[in-house]
Chains A and B, each alone.
Chain A
Amino acid sequence: MTEIGYYPGCALHGSSNDYETSARACLAALGVQLREVTDWVCCGATAAHALNHKLSVALPARNLALAEHDGFREILAPCPMCSMELLKARQEILADEALRAEMSSLVELELRGGVNVLNLVQALQSAGIDRIKAAVKKPLDGIRAACYYGCLLTRPPGVVRFDDPEQPRSMEAIVGALGAKTVDWNYRTECCGAGLTMANEETVLELSHRILTNAAAHGANCVVTVCPMCHVNLDMKQADIERRFNAKHKMAIYYLSDLVGLALGLSEKELGIDRHFVART
């Protein structure tokens, strides 16, 4: 078992607890144990960067400092918004010594900026795609997955430095290793409306409807994501989308770790899939 640091973020400890179950179970099956960063705080999310710039650096900076304090050199932040915010703060701190000093004082912990932040795709990549492929017990024959990257997994590219922001392929490589088919489609990097679910539902329903419609039009029978907000909008809100647009989607939405876990022989319950709103038909 190897152990890596883990920054769950609020979603995975809240209504997206199915994602935490999935990520933990899937990575444990690959020999990776997650240890939580001590007393982590919210990354600030959109609220911080929309309302107060200093807080949008300080909140992630506090978490980076806590992770350093714990002795981690690498932490997994499965939520793409968390991982982007952490990486952005780290980049700004490393580029500006005065800011680093200011933030150290502000977050009341010495901050060096030495902790690397991984997203879930990277955590699976470093576990090894060949190793995943070799460990497959139940190839995912019937799956035709639309790999959905959304916004912040690949953007802004100068901050997250991950895959191609327009034509990413990293999720397809993993899903393909599980014996599943992936489809080519157009909305892989379009936004679902993210955290506006409550405040501006109309926008979220429309953007998410387009994504589900395009995935189905290209032959997908499920959508795969690594983002808790995408999952809420596409899964939990799918019934609202169907009502609003008088459409039938019935599209199962999986976390990437769900599919890897299923292929490794874990059950739907072990992966938290029974907590999704839309079941695969």
Chain B
Amino acid sequence: MIDAATSGEATAVPADLPAFLDLENCYQCGKCTAGCPVAERMDVVPNQLVRLAQLGLVERARRAESIWQCVSCQTCSTRCPKSVDCAAVIDALRQLSFEKGDAAGSQRRTVLFQEAFLRNIRRNGRLNELELVGVFKTKAFLDDLSIPFLFKDAMLAPRMRAKGKLHFKPDRVKDGGVLERMFDRCLRQA
């Protein structure tokens, strides 16, 4: 994939990515990928994502399923000898992918999960775990019709309940109005 790309020096950050990313500093040593705990599962590994972004091939990068496999552990950014914030590049690609509504292929469930999480926060201010499980499982089921996945963690619920870890009366913030306005303004600007 890298060979197929043009060999010309890419310096500017593509217009659809934030300018603070310092992509031009990457010289493709591969340190980010070497330390990535999930690289072996990825279709496009971290240093390749940075290279695609350098070359302005942002659409190809944001359609990589690997951006949703990333566990956000910050190892890549921490170890980069040129201080390229690879984890921030992946975040920027995810944000763009979410905005454009990309399908995310095999990592579809992760996108649905993050989306359900954010909606949950918008509604409650603090995470309501039972609501998150219910909404996420329903959306995932409507998406892929997997019955095993729908019921997979059902056995955990009674054990969690026995341990006092299920909350039927969850926290909620008092000033929900400000949160609603914050979400409105942030998501509108995206």
Q: Which residues of A contact B (CB under 8 A)?
A: 10-11, 13-18, 39-42, 44-55, 58-59, 62, 106-108, 151-152, 155-157, 165, 189-191, 193-194, 196, 198-201, 203, 207, 236, 275-277
Contacts and interface: CB of A to CB of B under 8 A. Distances in A.
Contacts of B133: 198
Contacts of A11: 127
Interface of B: 18, 37-38, 41, 69, 71-75, 77-78, 85, 87, 91-92, 94-95, 98, 107, 109-110, 112-115, 117-118, 121, 125-127, 129, 133, 136, 152-153, 156, 159-160, 163-167, 170-171, 173-175, 178-179, 181-183, 185-187, 189-190
B190 A199 contact: no
Given A14-B127, A198-B113, A58 B72 contact: no
B121 A17 contact: no
Contact of A194 (B72, B92, B173, B183): B72
Contacts of A49: 72, 91
Contact of B110 (A14, A48, A200): A200
A50 B37 contact: no
Given A191-B75, A200-B107, A236-B156, A55 B136 contact: no
B186 A152 contact: no
B62 to A, nearest CB: 12
B72 A14 contact: no
A235 B110 CA distance: 22
Contacts of A45: 117
B173 A39 contact: yes
Contact of B121 (A44, A152, A236): A44
Given A207-B37, A277-B159, A17 B69 contact: no
A156 B77 contact: yes
Given A191-B71, A199-B113, A106 B185 contact: yes
B165 A155 contact: no
B71 A203 contact: yes
Nearest to B171: A13
A46 B70 CA distance: 11
B172 to A, nearest CB: 10
A199 B112 contact: yes
A15 B160 contact: yes
B173 A47 contact: no
Nearest to B83: A158
A165 B186 contact: no
Contacts of A190: 37
List the 4 closest pairs (A to B, CB-CB), nearest first: A191-B73, A10-B127, A199-B113, A47-B117
